[in-house]
Amino acid sequence: MRTWTPADMPDLSGKTAIVTGANSGIGLPTALELARHGARVVVATRSAAKGGAAVEEIRRAVPGAQVEHGTLDLADLASVRSFAVGVDRVDLLVNNAGIGMIPRQLTRDGFEMQFGTNHLGHFALTGLLLPLLLARPGARVVNVSSDAHKMGRLDLDDLGLERGYKKMSSYGRSKLANLLFTLELQRRAQRAQVDLVSAATHPGATATNFFSVGPLQPLVGLFLKSAAAGAVSSLYAATSPEIHGGEFVGPKTQLLTPSEAARSEQLAADLWEVSTRLTGVRFEEIAYS
């Protein structure tokens, strides 16, 4: 069977896509290919300078591309709300931005940084944009997770990891939260009978900023694939007619099976409740009655 490539993407003219963290890593080629196929693309980044540079790079690669920058700091809920207020429409939301393997830090709102940025920031953004997504036929939300979710353990009574912090397990916890959120969002959309698809991806070991420093740096370019190759799973999840919701798409567009913890409906419901309380974002359109 022939391997799916971005050349197989449909015409996206008339659609608006938002890609978080689209100034580097797999986010940039994700945004570029969406623009190449006709979508209006919002490059959502914390740095206006880096976001602007990404916009210009996309325009050079795709003359006439409809691409713009929006300032978004996922580690600051006020920034998330400010960004969301400025959005007029959205068909595809690719929650791509992420940080990993950092010393313990806190977000502006006091959350552990990896969990707060990778999960809570995207949870809030998705909820704030939900009315706009539901107004667009065939809207999709794609959350970039990781196979690292399998090493994550989610203790809802210790979200600050004050009982012990390890860089990698904290990252895995945030990726587990991404998957729990993805699957719960799909369940709620189906129960509410709304036109929304929620899927997650694992891009595989990719030469991104995660590996630009530290002991794994020599592996970059040797054993890690390019960012463009890493973006394929996101592009497939965002555009393929084969995606119907609840899938976990792997590096070669194969469907992966999430861990037992990621498939737990009770844990997902509990995480949703905690995330709602921490962010103040309620997803009223698909709330359980």
Please confirm, yes or no, whether 165 is among the known catalytic residues: no
Three-class SS of residue 35? helix
Taking the C-alpha atoms of residue 217 and residue 11, their distance in angstroms, rounded to an integer, is 38
Segment (H or E) for 79:
helix 77-85
- Whether 237 contacts 142, CB under 8 Å: yes
Out of 165, 171, 236, 288, the active site residue is 171
Contacts by 158-167, CB closer than 8 A, 24 or more apart: 159/111, 159/112, 159/115, 159/274, 159/278, 160/106, 160/111, 160/112, 161/104, 161/112, 161/115, 165/104, 165/112, 167/100, 167/101, 167/102, 167/103
Strand-pair partners of 40:
16
Q: Which residues are catalytic?
A: 171
